Amino acid sequence: MAYEEPITDYDHIVENCTCAFCGSNCDDLDFLVKGNHVVGVRHACRLGASKIMEDEDQRLKVPMMRDENGELQEVDWDTALDAAAELIANSVRPLFYGWSETSIECMKKGLKLTEYVGAVIDNQATICHGPTVQAVQNVGYPLMTLGEVKNRADMVVYTGSNPMNAHPRHLARYSVFPRGWFRQRGRFDRTLVTWDPKFSDTAKMSDIWVPFEENGDYGFCNAIRAVLKGKELKEDVISGIPKQDIIDLTESMKNVEFGALFFGLGLTHTLSKQRNIDIAIQLVQDLNAYTKWVLLPMRGHFNVNGFNIYMAYEMGFPYGVDFCRGYPRYMIGETTTVDLLNRKEPDVFLVIAADPGAHFPGGANMHLANIPVIQIDIHWGPSTELADIVLPGTFIGVETAGTSYRMDSVPIHMKSAIDPPETCREDEWIVNELYERVKKIKEEAK
Amino acid sequence: MTYVDKPTVSNVVKFDDPNVKKVQKIKVMLNTGTDIYQGACKKRGSTLKDEYRKVAGIAYMDPKDMARLGVANWESVLVKSDWGEVVVYAAHSRDAPHEEMIFIPKGPWANVIVSPETYCCNDPTYKGIEATVEKSDKEVLLMADLMRSVYRKYTKNEKNVDELPSLGEMPVYRKK
């Protein structure tokens, strides 16, 4: 590991900024600012620091459109917005995807536009914790805030997630290492357990690692539930774990004072999908017959939970909401983005604060090569290679203030520390401007 | 340590190990997901750069599997699944042993070979995909070149996309 000199060359410090990376939304960061650039970040993890000290080379600074040869060309804001509005106004099945890395204020404008044109609005939950949301609708949500875990938990279980890679400060700030009111010795007062087929970086630092086999999560959780209910396990090895180990683990889970189960995409991306989460939630419910247990999905983006909360509050459905009939509809597998793309349904795709080029399966992305794509983002990414109109937004939490929801549904105000580049516009302004222009086109056509 | 040229990988298995039986191709289970190097590079925005191909265009494999195939760290392998095929770097996994299981961090390279099938459940199957791995002498493509060769959005009429000059590591657009 190379040694890096501490950063001393800065003008001023902006304290208590919120990190715009993962669902942990750490709100104790200090930005070291020099000449309207963040040159250093204190307290952030490697992921947060690298996002905040962005790559200036690839920052989208000007609106762009493809010419007849398919090359991107710089245009002015009016031209780009008019062209985008024209595409949206004349489309039959527009799909507005993304939103998880922008503010609630921007989603508000986005919902207005979606409702007006009768589009489908969806966010990244559709490719990550969508099954979790379905399971919550099936069997409930034994939720807590992360502060409770910090102050009370004496056993923390991570399954199907690798927070040391994806949420590096989660253990340090909320769950395992901090000293809490009832856990005065911090890490020494807690047992860290990882259930994962892989000897992940989190498993390496755990007290107990349970390496069940691939796709074994469903059977493994059910075996614990069976033991909890006093049933005899009929097989000697279940999901690759010896029977006695399951009985011992169940016993130790029953005998804690406060347990927390965190789960990630390892559960939602395997074949059993939402059924895995159903069982995990029911396991926590069963454990509550003996002691206090809670559960929380490890949400990825800093505002992916915010979109689900906001949409559920406004429209009654968490994601994949379709307005084509004039009223909101939500049908898993029908109005969700990857299914729509697999069926080649959308005729215009607007992507805001997301990167389908990097994160959708190729089979779904193939349809993006056939339809116009409008991108609102801050960096040149894989999606820019598929985008016909590119509108440069601003960086929420660094350049623009906004509201976001942490993974445990606590709303957090993210303040701005520096000014955005002059040629960029706020996401909220761009979406509102699209709405105004689409409205004008539609009304003139009447 | 926010900037890296490439991930640090260990080098633990000798290729002339007499106990290892050499094979041309192995069947594996493919998992994708996030990884700290991929996350840091992607969210910083350095996706066109060589660094992104080194952190996301990489298959973390069990060292024994690599010895069986006769590939060393940072050599190319061809990964094929029912959904497509892609050339990525091979590297020793820090989570080994996990024989016949490979991990490719999420990104444009992994996308080519993961299943878009949601089973009517909105979430594509990103994990637990059957694939094969074999040694390849092709170079791993940079992100922009990969997107062009896979999706061909603006090169539909070109016959040999792979022979076009590389789009490079910097944004290409015409200024006003």
B174 at the A interface (CB within 8 A)?
yes
| Whole-number pLDDT of residue B157 | 85
Rounded to two decimals, the ipTM of the complex is: 0.93
Task: With cut-offs at 50, 70 and 90, classify the pLDDT of residue B89.
Answer: very high
Rounded Cα–Cα distance for residues B137 and B78 (Å): 9
pLDDT digits (tens), chain A, 446 positions: 467 788 899 999 999 999 999 999 999 999 999 999 999 999 999 999 999 998 888 999 999 999 988 999 999 999 999 999 999 999 999 999 999 999 999 999 999 999 999 999 999 999 999 999 999 999 998 889 999 999 999 999 999 999 999 999 999 999 999 999 999 999 999 999 999 998 999 999 999 999 998 888 999 999 999 999 999 999 999 999 999 999 999 999 999 999 999 999 999 988 888 999 999 999 999 999 999 999 999 999 999 999 999 999 999 999 999 999 999 999 999 999 999 999 999 999 999 999 999 999 999 999 999 999 999 999 999 999 999 999 999 999 999 999 999 999 999 999 999 999 999 999 999 999 999 999 999 999 98
Q: What are the structure tokens assigned to B16, written together?
A: 């002339």
A239 at the B interface (CB within 8 A)?
no
Question: Which member of B116, B147, B175 has the closest CB to residue A364?
Answer: B116
DSSP code per residue over A48-115 = HHHHHS--GGGB--S-EEE-TTS-EEE--HHHHHHHHHHHHHT-SSEEEEE-TTS-HHHHHHHHHHHH
B55 at the A interface (CB within 8 A)?
no
Q: Measured between alpha carbons, how far apart are the two ends of chain A, in Å?
A: 65
- Give all domains of chain B, ordered by start, each with its CATH number: 25-163 (2.40.40.20)
All structural domains of chain A with their residue ranges: 12-52, 59-127+302-445, 130-297
| Whole-number pLDDT of residue A152 | 96
Beta strands per DSSP E along A215-268 = 237-238, 241-242, 258-263
A186 at the B interface (CB within 8 A)?
no
| Whole-number pLDDT of residue B96 | 82
Chain A residue numbers with beta carbons less than 8 Å from the beta carbon of B108 are 357-358, 382
Long-range contacts of A225-232 (CB under 8 A, 24+ apart): A225/A279, A225/A282, A225/A283, A225/A286, A228/A254, A228/A283, A228/A286, A228/A287, A228/A289, A228/A290, A229/A286
b/e code A59-89 from CB counts within 10 Å (16+ = b) = bbbbbbbbeeeeebebbebeebbbbbbebbb
Topology of domain A59-127+302-445, per CATH?
A: Rossmann fold (3.40.50)
Q: What are the structure tokens assigned to B149, written together?
A: 């060769």
Cβ-in-10-Å burial (0-12, 13-18, 19+) of A14 comes to middle
Instruction: Give the residue ranges of DSSP H helices in B57-122.
Output: 63-69, 108-113
Q: What are the structure tokens assigned to A370, written together?
A: 């056939």
| Whole-number pLDDT of residue B3 | 61
| Whole-number pLDDT of residue A214 | 85
Q: Give the contacts of A244 (CB within 8 A, at least 6 positions apart).
A: none
Amino acid at the residue A420: P
Q: To 10 degrees, what angle do helices A304-315 and A104-117 make? A: 50
B157 at the A interface (CB within 8 A)?
no
Q: Residue A74's beta-bridge partner residues?
A: A64
Rounded Cα–Cα distance for residues A295 and A174 (Å): 14
Rounded Cα–Cα distance for residues A332 and A320 (Å): 8
The verdict on a CB contact (< 8 Å) between A46 and B29 is: no
The verdict on a CB contact (< 8 Å) between B154 and A70 is: yes
Beta strands per DSSP E along A219-310 = 237-238, 241-242, 258-263, 292-297
Give B11-36 pLDDT, tens digit per residue. 665 656 667 788 999 999 999 999 99
Q: Is the peptide bond before B18 cis (omega within 30 degrees of 0)?
A: no
Question: Which member of B120, B150, B154 has the closest CB to residue A333?
Answer: B120
Give A382-401 pLDDT, tens digit per residue. 999 999 999 999 999 999 99
A92 at the B interface (CB within 8 A)?
no
A182 at the B interface (CB within 8 A)?
no
B14 at the A interface (CB within 8 A)?
no
Q: What is the CATH number of domain A130-297?
A: 3.40.228.10
A35 close to A12: Cβ distance less than 8 angstroms:
no
User: What sign has the CA pseudo-torsion A310, A315, A319, A321?
Assistant: negative
Residue A52: C-alpha distances to residues A234, B47, B110, B122 (Å): 53, 15, 26, 31
Task: With cut-offs at 50, 70 and 90, classify the pLDDT of residue B1.
Answer: very low
| Whole-number pLDDT of residue B114 | 94
Q: What are the structure tokens assigned to B2, written together?
A: 């926010």
User: Nearest-CA neighbor of B31 among B119, B122, B95?
Assistant: B95
| Whole-number pLDDT of residue B6 | 77
| Whole-number pLDDT of residue B160 | 86
CA distance B88 to chain A (A): 15
Interface size, chain A vs chain B, as Cβ–Cβ contacts under 8 Å: 227
Q: Residue B79's beta-bridge partner residues?
A: B86, B133
B38 close to B68: Cβ distance less than 8 angstroms:
no
Mean pLDDT of the region B33-48 = 92
User: What sign has the CA pseudo-torsion A61, B34, A361, B110?
Assistant: positive
Q: Give the contacts of A231 (CB within 8 A, at least 6 positions apart).
A: none
Question: Which member of B1, B29, B122 has the closest CB to residue A2?
Answer: B1
Rounded Cα–Cα distance for residues B35 and A164 (Å): 9
CA distance A423 to chain B (A): 13
Which chain A residues in 132-171 lie under 8 Å from chain B, judged by CB atoms? 134, 162, 164-166, 168
